[in-house]
Structure 1
Amino acid sequence: MVEADIKISELRHLTNSLFDSLEGQGVDSIHVRQSQYWKVYFADAFELGPPALVMGDVYDDLNDVRAEVKGPNDDTTLWHAFMHLSGLINIVAYAAENGDLAKRVAMEKHL
């Protein structure tokens, strides 16, 4: 394995491009059928041994990210916010795979 740096600006660009693509397809929300999910804590995910599973919840993730974005941006809140953001990114991928991306309805057609 080769060590290297990943630029934050590239991650931001890639993430924004993916969300821009969803919005460009008319997707404006995610239908959440099951909010609880299994996850592996990030520290365990990078160990070579088998990780322990823990239960996560997308609504807890969303509320924590909302609170942490408004709060101080120190090392503690940053790792915690990104851990919860990963759960939200997983629900986007899950929804895309399972047809749970909701497209906006053009109200003009109904008028």
Structure 2
Amino acid sequence: MVAGDVKISELRQLTNSLFDGLEDQGIDSIHVAQSQYWKVYFTDAFQAETPTCVMGDVYDDLNDVRAEVDKAREDETISWHAFMHLAGLINLVAYAAENGELVKSAAMEARQ
């Protein structure tokens, strides 16, 4: 186990770069064939014991992040909840990239 700090500014830069890369490739959306997915609740993810899986939903995640993004600036309790749902959406991007479900914009498709 290694203790240390991870800079928020670095996480932001890395995340922005990853999304910029997708957009540079003409990716503008994700096809969602199955909105429900398995996840480990974040409080259990960093424990030594084997965690229990729970069901998440992409659209629940998206709606909660939309509702909480502005409120999170001033309220840490909302912030953790929004990040928990954002993690589900980030997993969706990874899943979609792995399974060919990233959708290129019509303009990009026309150029190819």
Q: Is the shorter-chain TM-score for this pair beyond 0.5, marking a shared fold? A: yes
Count matched residues: 108
Question: Is residue 97 of structure 1 aligned with residue 98 of structure 2?
Answer: yes
- Residue segments in structure 2 that go unaligned for 5+ positions in a row: none
SS at 1:20 equivalent: helix
Q: After superposition, what is the alpha-carbon deviation per residue over 1:28-47, rounded to whole angstroms, capped at 9, x for unaligned?
A: 00000000000111110000
**What amino acid maps onto 1:38 in structure 2?**
W
Distance 2:54 2:19 in 1: 27
**What amino acid maps onto 2:46 in structure 1?**
F
- Residue segments in structure 1 that go unaligned for 5+ positions in a row: none
Q: CA deviation at 1:86?
A: 0.2
TM, length-normalised to structure 1 = 0.93
**Alignment correspondent of 1:29:** 29
**Alignment correspondent of 1:57:** 57
**What amino acid maps onto 2:7 in structure 1?**
K
Q: CA deviation at 1:2?
A: 2.6
**Alignment correspondent of 1:81:** 82
Q: After superposition, what is the alpha-carbon deviation per residue over 1:6-55, rounded to whole angstroms, capped at 9, x for unaligned?
A: 10000000000000000000000000000000011111000011101110
Instruction: Please identify runs of 4+ aligned residues in structure 1 that moved more than 4 A.
Output: none
Distance 2:105 2:92 in 1: 19
**Alignment correspondent of 1:5:** 5
Alpha-carbon RMSD across the aligned residues, in angstroms, is 1.3
Identical residues among aligned pairs (%): 73
**Alignment correspondent of 1:48:** 48
SS at 2:29 equivalent: strand
